[in-house]
Structures are given as structure tokens and as C-alpha cells.
């Protein structure tokens, strides 16, 4: 596909008015004035539209096909949320406006905080962090400051299971903690006996996600939280997998002290490609005074931003977070109501359905009932000549977005599948059939599978070259 510069045909698409006769001498220093043409592409409005439409058509998105991206909950996000987030009063409001001028926006934020408190069981929530990983960092900063204020600066270690998402150790490390890994047992859960041996007076916290990244519920979570609390340590809950548990249980019931949610995964807002997200953080009562400032409060009469938080870790983001994402999440939660519980139930059912249909054909290293996702291993197919990346690429030729691959790290040739609640049985069955067909193709003619993708706008790329030397700039005609 040609770039828009190459398509230039000299047509003036936009008339910016008369510039002749406007004297810039004396206004802008001469050496700063451009001499030649600005070099913008010149095309008609229709040609520009066609160009960008063609570009966007080359992209894959949930509106185009099944997107079983494990760990990332790529669910359908109702379009009414987009409409609501773009309402003028929300979209054009300036974040520096006085509290009196933005009561509606503050009310929405306050109400969303309340809903998230209810859903997580936590006692206070900040909406500031802009992503899950940012929420983790915020949570770890809160934990760090909590121990500082308590005078327990010896607590420098954070325990993290070997199945954890990479952002967990990264966030704890960025906060200056030392990472201690705890192994998973043969059932894909935290090895509690090993955990006991790691506990001492220097442990600040454990970071866990439940269900964990294998899609397995940590059955010993209450025992773990007791162990941690008895040790004077705290528990951090990575809420990226919240789509599995909404309304059925919550991190407070499991004994966690700090939680982040990924609004862009669980509560609407399409994500990926670095688009805006939100990673609100909830905390138990004793950590309330450590939240980033300001929090959004209600005095019974009006909503206001509270900058007066005794041990606040300070600001973690400009203004108050990604407000548009908050509007979408609030609309989604109001619309779903009690059905959030049903969404989790369907997400779990769909994952188990696919798992049971595929497990005879692909290895299933942890053969347990799963929650909203599960992890296969492509080890058998790897031995037959096509590794997991080849399976992922092959799926694209059937208009299916590749699942998350090679994660979690404890599974060889991992294929992590999360169907979400959005899909019909027909879509799930089609995916199952395609996966079975691929397993068959690999047995019969692995070399043919390795030629995929062939039907996508961009065919097979050199992965290493693309990662190490990305070509992102148009260098000129
Ligand atoms: C996605 C994810 C994160 C990080 O969230 P971002 O919003 O991508 O920063 C953390 N933990 C788990 C388990 C995740 O799936």
C-alpha cells in the first residue's frame, strides 16, 4: 500500500484562505521563516478518506473477528459507551475547571469509585493510574510508604509467583523492592510450603492474581493471606483477571489489601496499540490515607477534589486519569448491573468449553477446571515441526486473532486462550474446528502451515527484524 505522500496528486483538498499580503517580517525572525513548500500531501478530501479507510481496514479488531487474547480480556465493548464518552460536557471539559463548574464529571467519578469499592470490597479507590501496570506501581508505592510511616523500613522484599505477569516484578522493582520468586506446584498454584520458607520480617508483600495467569483459581488464597498477615506483610491483588470473578467473590473476601483493576480489559474500552486505559487502585481502610491526591469526595452537598490526604504518595498522573475511559466503565457497569455476575459466569463457561474440546489434541499441562482462560502447550506440534508462533500465525488465515503465546513463562510453547463472554457458541465452535484443523495440518504437512499467514494484508514478516529494527518513519520519496 502506498503512503499518503506517494499518493499526492497536487489537488488542494483544503483551502486555508488567502495568505498573500500577510507580512511576517518583523513578527517572526527571518531565519525561522520557511522558504520552500511545507511538503504536505495534496489530495482531495475523498482521496484522504479512502486512504485512511484502507489503512484501518488492514487492521484487525474485535469488530472483525474472534480475539481470544489470554490475559488481556478483549471483549466486545458496547458502542453506546463511545457515544456517552463523547458527549460534549464530558469530552470538552477542561481538567483545570473549578469544582463548581464540573459537578457532573466529579459525580461520575465519585459514583464510579463507589461502584468499584462495591465490586472489589475495598474501602477506598483512586481513579488516577492510567493502566494496569501503572496501578501496580501506585499500589506498590502505597505499600512502601505505609511501611515507612510505620517505621518498618526493613521490609524490602516482595514475593511474586513464577506464573506472574511480567509487569508485577517490574512494578515492584521500580519501587525499589527486591523480588523473591515463589514456585507454582504441579496443580499450577502457589506452592504454599515453599512460600512459608520465604517469609521473614523483611517481606513487605506478595503480589498475586487470582485466578492466576494459568486461569486457575488459587484455592489456598485464604491460607496465604493469613500467612502473610501473620507475618506483618500485605497482599497485592493484580485485578487484570477480574473478568473471571465479578460478583462471585472479591479480593477483600480473599484477604487482599491493595487491588488494581484494568478498566480497559474488564469494564469496556477497547485496548491495544497503546490506547488509553485506566488502572484504578482500591485499598483497605488502613491504606486510605496513602492514596494519590486528589481523591474525589462528596460532602453531602457537593462533589470536590480532596488534596488533603495525610500520607498521600502524591500525584501519579497529570490531572485525574483518563477520564473518557472512566465514563465508558461507569456506563458499562450501570448497564450491566447484576448481570456483571452473568458475564463472568459466561466467560468461565466459554473457556471451559473450548478447553475440553481441545485438550485431546493439544497438551494441557494443568488439567484443572479453568476460570476465564486456560493455557495449552504446543509442545507436541513443536515436535511435529510447527512451534506455537506458527500456530498463532496460521490462525490469522482463518480471521482469528492469535491468542497470547509464550506466556506464562512456566509453560513450554504456551498458548493462552481467553474467549470472553461476548462470543456465541458458533464462534467458539468455529475456533475449535480451526484449531483441530491446524493440528491435523501440522501432522500432514507442517511446511505448508509455516507459510501462514497468506491471507492477511501483511504476509509473513521477519519477527526479529521487525522487533529490533522497526521501520516507523516515512523517509521521503
Ligand atoms: C494486562 C495485565 C497487566 C498489565 O496491565 P496494563 O493495563 O497492560 O498495564 C498486569 N497483569 C496481568 C495479569 C495482565 O493481564
> CATH number for the domain including 309?
3.40.640.10
- What confidence category does residue 274 fall into, taking pLDDT thresholds of 50, 70 and 90? low
Contact 198, 162 (CB under 8 A): no
Per-residue pLDDT at 343 exceeds 80: yes
pLDDT at 457: 92
- What confidence category does residue 75 fall into, taking pLDDT thresholds of 50, 70 and 90? very high
Q: Under 8 Å CB-to-CB from 343, ≥6 apart: which residues? A: 243, 246, 336, 421
Q: Look at residue 133 and give its three-state secondary structure.
A: helix
Per-residue pLDDT at 300 exceeds 70: yes
Length of the chain, in residues: 477
Q: Does 377 lie in the same domain as 353?
A: yes
* Residue 76 forms part of a structural domain: no
The span from the CA of 243 to the CA of 266, in Å, is 5
Which of 17-21, 35-39, 107-111, 245-249 has the least mean pLDDT? 17-21
Segment 288-303 shows an average pLDDT of 97
Q: Does 124 lie in the same domain as 108?
A: yes
Domain that holds residue 36: 18-58
Contact 405, 389 (CB under 8 A): yes
84-142, pLDDT tens digit by residue?
Answer: 999 999 999 999 999 999 999 999 999 999 999 999 999 999 999 999 999 999 999 99
Contact 183, 338 (CB under 8 A): no
For residue 260 and ligand 1, the question of a CB distance below 6 A is answered with no
In order of 240, 302, 397, 398, 473, the CA distances from 418 in angstroms are 12, 42, 19, 17, 34
pLDDT at 39: 81
* Cα–Cα–Cα angle for 409, 195, 221, rounded to 5 degrees: 85
Per-residue pLDDT at 24 exceeds 80: no
CA 380 to mean position of chain CA atoms: 30
Segment 79-87 shows an average pLDDT of 96
Q: Under 8 Å CB-to-CB from 339, ≥6 apart: which residues? A: none
> Does the pTM of the predicted model rise above 0.85?
yes
- What grid cell was written down for 34? 520557511
Q: Does 241 lie in the same domain as 253?
A: yes
pLDDT at 30: 84
For residue 398 and ligand 1, the question of a CB distance below 6 A is answered with no
Q: Look at residue 192 and give its three-state secondary structure.
A: helix
**Ligand 1 centre from 276 Cα, in Å?**
13
Q: Under 8 Å CB-to-CB from 445, ≥6 apart: which residues? A: none
Per-residue pLDDT at 477 exceeds 70: no
For residue 239 and ligand 1, the question of a CB distance below 6 A is answered with no
* Residue 423 forms part of a structural domain: yes
Q: Does 446 lie in the same domain as 327?
A: no
pLDDT at 224: 98
- What confidence category does residue 311 fall into, taking pLDDT thresholds of 50, 70 and 90? very high
* Residue 381 forms part of a structural domain: yes
Q: Does 407 lie in the same domain as 446?
A: yes
Q: Does 107 lie in the same domain as 41?
A: no
Per-residue pLDDT at 275 exceeds 70: yes
Q: Does 344 lie in the same domain as 224?
A: no
Segment 263-276 shows an average pLDDT of 86
Contact 133, 140 (CB under 8 A): no
The CATH number of the domain holding residue 416 is 3.90.1150.10
Per-residue pLDDT at 25 exceeds 80: no
Q: Does 271 lie in the same domain as 154?
A: yes
pLDDT at 396: 97
Q: Does 146 lie in the same domain as 25?
A: no
For residue 135 and ligand 1, the question of a CB distance below 6 A is answered with no
* Residue 432 forms part of a structural domain: yes
Q: Does 157 lie in the same domain as 249?
A: yes
Q: What is the DSSP string of 267-296?
A: SS----TT------EEE-GGGGGGSPSPEE
Which of 19-33, 196-210, 316-330 has the least mean pLDDT? 19-33
For residue 254 and ligand 1, the question of a CB distance below 6 A is answered with no
For residue 62 and ligand 1, the question of a CB distance below 6 A is answered with no
Q: Which atom of ligand 1 is nearest to the CA of 241?
A: 13
* Residue 207 forms part of a structural domain: yes
* Residue 475 forms part of a structural domain: no
Residue that finishes a domain, picked among 312, 336, 360: 336
* Residue 436 forms part of a structural domain: yes
For residue 212 and ligand 1, the question of a CB distance below 6 A is answered with no
Overall domain count for the chain: 3
**More confidently predicted of 233 and 35:** 233
For residue 71 and ligand 1, the question of a CB distance below 6 A is answered with yes
**Ligand 1 centre from 199 Cα, in Å?**
26
pLDDT at 18: 67
146-179, pLDDT tens digit by residue?
Answer: 999 999 999 999 999 999 999 999 999 999 999 9
Q: Does 157 lie in the same domain as 39?
A: no
Which of 190-194, 206-210, 358-362, 455-459 has the least mean pLDDT? 455-459
Which of 183-192, 367-376, 417-426, 455-464 has the least mean pLDDT? 455-464
In order of 66, 137, 140, 148, 357, the CA distances from 308 in angstroms are 47, 22, 21, 19, 55
For residue 269 and ligand 1, the question of a CB distance below 6 A is answered with no
**Ligand 1 centre from 238 Cα, in Å?**
8
* Residue 420 forms part of a structural domain: yes
Q: Which atom of ligand 1 is nearest to the CA of 209?
A: 13
Q: Does 198 lie in the same domain as 280?
A: yes
The sign one gets for the Cα dihedral 305, 311, 316, 318 is positive
pLDDT at 34: 82
Angle between helical axes of 132-150 and 167-174 (0-180°, round to 10)? 40
- What grid cell was written down for 193? 510450603
For residue 191 and ligand 1, the question of a CB distance below 6 A is answered with no
Segment 313-337 shows an average pLDDT of 96
**Ligand 1 centre from 240 Cα, in Å?**
5
The span from the CA of 296 to the CA of 95, in Å, is 13
Amino acid at each position: 500500500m502506498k503512503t499518503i505522500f506517494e499518493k499526492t496528486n497536487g489537488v488542494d483538498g483544503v483551502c486555508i484562505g488567502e495568505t498573500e499580503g500577510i507580512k511576517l517580517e518583523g513578527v517572526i525572525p527571518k531565519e525561522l521563516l520557511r522558504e520552500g513548500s511545507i511538503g504536505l500531501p495534496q489530495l482531495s478530501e475523498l482521496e484522504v478518506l479512502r486512504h485512511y479507510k484502507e489503512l484501518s481496514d488492514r487492521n484487525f479488531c474485535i469488530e472483525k473477528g474472534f480475539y481470544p487474547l489470554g490475559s488481556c480480556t478483549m471483549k466486545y465493548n458496547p458502542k453506546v459507551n463511545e457515544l456517552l464518552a463523547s458527549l460534549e460536557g464530558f469530552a470538552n471539559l477542561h481538567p483545570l475547571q473549578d469544582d463548581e463548574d464540573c459537578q457532573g464529571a466529579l459525580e461520575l467519578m465519585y459514583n464510579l469509585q463507589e461502584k468499584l469499592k462495591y465490586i472489589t470490597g475495598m474501602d477506598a479507590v483512586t481513579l488516577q493510574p492510567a493502566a494496569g501496570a501503572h496501578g501496580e506501581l501506585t499500589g506498590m508505592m502505597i505499600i512502601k510508604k505505609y511501611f515507612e510511616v510505620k517505621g518498618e523500613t526493613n521490609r524490602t522484599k516482595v514475593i511474586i509467583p513464577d506464573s506472574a505477569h511480567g509487569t508485577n516484578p517490574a512494578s515492584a522493582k521500580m519501587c525499589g523492592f527486591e523480588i523473591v520468586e515463589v514456585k507454582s506446584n504441579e496443580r499450577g498454584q502457589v506452592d504454599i510450603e515453599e512460600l512459608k520458607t520465604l517469609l521473614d520480617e523483611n517481606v513487605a508483600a506478595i503480589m498475586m492474581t487470582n485466578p492466576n495467569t494459568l486461569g486457575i483459581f488459587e484455592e489456598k488464597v485464604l491460607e496465604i493471606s493469613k500467612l502473610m498477615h501473620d507475618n506483618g506483610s500485605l497482599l497485592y491483588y493484580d485485578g487484570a483477571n477480574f473478568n473471571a470473578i465479578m460478583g462471585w467473590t472479591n479480593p477483600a473476601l480473599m484477604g487482599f489489601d491493595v487491588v488494581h483493576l484494568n478498566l480497559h480489559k474488564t469494564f469496556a474500552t477497547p485496548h491495544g496499540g497503546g490506547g488509553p486505559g485506566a488502572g484504578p487502585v482500591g485499598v483497605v481502610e488502613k491504606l486510605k490515607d496513602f492514596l494519590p491526591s486528589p481523591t474525589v469526595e462528596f460532602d453531602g452537598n457537593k462533589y470536590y477534589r480532596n488534596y488533603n490526604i495525610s500520607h498521600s504518595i502524591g500525584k501519579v498522573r497529570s490531572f485525574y486519569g483518563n477520564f473518557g475511559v472512566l465514563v465508558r466503565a461507569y456506563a458499562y457497569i450501570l448497564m450491566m448491573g447484576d448481570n456483571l455476575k452473568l458475564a463472568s459466569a459466561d466467560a468461565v463457561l466459554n473457556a471451559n468449553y473450548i478447553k475440553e474440546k481441545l485438550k485431546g489434541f493439544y497438551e494441557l499441562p494443568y488439567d484443572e477446571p479453568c476460570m476465564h482462560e486456560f493455557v495449552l502447550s504446543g509442545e507436541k506440534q513443536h515436535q511435529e515441526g510447527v512451534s506455537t508462533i506458527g500456530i498463532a500465525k496460521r490462525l490469522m488465515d482463518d480471521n482469528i486473532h492469535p491468542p497470547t503465546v509464550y506466556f506464562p513463562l512456566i509453560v513450554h510453547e504456551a498458548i493462552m486462550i481467553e474467549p470472553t463472554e461476548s462470543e456465541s457458541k458458533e464462534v467458539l465452535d468455529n475456533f475449535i474446528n480451526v484449531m483441530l484443523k491446524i493440528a491435523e495440518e501440522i501432522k500432514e504437512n507442517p511446511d505448508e502451515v509455516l507459510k501462514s499467514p497468506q491471507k492477511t494484508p501483511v504476509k509473513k514478516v521477519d519477527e526479529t527484524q521487525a522487533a529490533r529494527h522497526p521501520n516507523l518513519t516515512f523517509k521521503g520519496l
